[in-house]
């Protein structure tokens, strides 16, 4: 089974990488672009039946920084 | 309107960052974890009615490296 963890910066946390992407898009002529935010996702191959709690545990211990980041767990087939 | 661009490494391209995450999970006791791959996503605020083609253009010019990465465009409400 494949689990996908989406890690985003918390609202209110500055996102310099997103800002840089926005600026670069503007200078490439995409003037209509507004706010840009960047995040990451992690695809993890886990045995069938792995619980959400187990994945939450992985996120809290390693995958996300709880001070600045939020995470969301999506299970795939 | 918010558009989300998902950028993943192409199949067959080595993903050292994913590998490192996998190894770290193993040493934290998550022995059941198999393959791990990491990607990024970019949330872009664009005016309503922006076409897929316009977003594709952004991806090809800046957001994804066409040699090593694939991208996928998801439109949100």
Q: What ipTM does the predicted assembly reach?
A: 0.85
Q: B39 to chain A: which residues are within 8 Å by CB?
A: 40-43
Show Cβ contacts of residue B53 under 8 Å, excluding neighbours closer than 6 positions.
none
User: pLDDT by residue (tens digit) across B3-43?
Assistant: 999 999 998 999 999 999 999 999 999 999 999 999 999 99
Biggest CA pair distance of chain A = 48
Query: Are A25 and B36 in contact (CB < 8 Å)?
Result: no
- CATH 3.30.1280.10 at B2-75, yes or no: yes
**Among all residues of chain B, which has the CA nearest to that of A37?**
B43
B37 lies within 8 A of chain A by CB = yes
Contacts by residues B50-55 (CB-CB < 8 Å, ≥ 24 positions apart): B50/A32, B50/B1, B50/B3, B54/A30, B55/B3, B55/B5
- Asked if A41 is an interface residue toward chain B (Cβ–Cβ < 8 A), one would say yes
Residue-range domain boundaries for chain A? 2-75
77 residues of chain A, pLDDT tens digit each: 999 999 999 989 999 999 999 999 999 999 999 999 999 999 999 999 999 999 999 999 999 999 999 999 998 65
Chain A residues whose beta carbon lies within 8 Å of the beta carbon of residue B46: 32-34
Asked if A41 and B38 come within 8 Å (Cβ–Cβ), the reply is: yes
pTM as predicted: 0.85
Whether the Cβ atoms of residue A73 and residue A3 lie closer than 8 Å to each other: yes
Report the distance separating Cα A24 and Cα A33, nearest Å.
10
CA atoms within 13 A on the CB side of A64: 25
* Beta-sheet strand order (sheet of A36-45): A69-75, A2-9, A36-45, B36-45, B2-9, B69-75
- Residue A72 CA, chain-centre distance (Å), reads 8
Instruction: Give the C-alpha separation, A30 to B28, whole Å.
Output: 44
**N residues, chain A:** 77
């Amino acid at each position: 089974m494949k689990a996908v963890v989406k890690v985003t910066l918390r609202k209110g946390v500055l996102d310099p990488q997103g800002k840089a992407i926005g600026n670069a898009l503007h200078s490439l002529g995409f003037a209509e672009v507004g706010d840009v935010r960047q995040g990451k996702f992690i695809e993890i191959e886990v045995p069938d039946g792995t619980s959400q709690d187990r994945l939450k545990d992985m996120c809290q211990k390693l995958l996300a920084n709880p001070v600045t980041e939020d995470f969301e767990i999506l299970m795939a087939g």
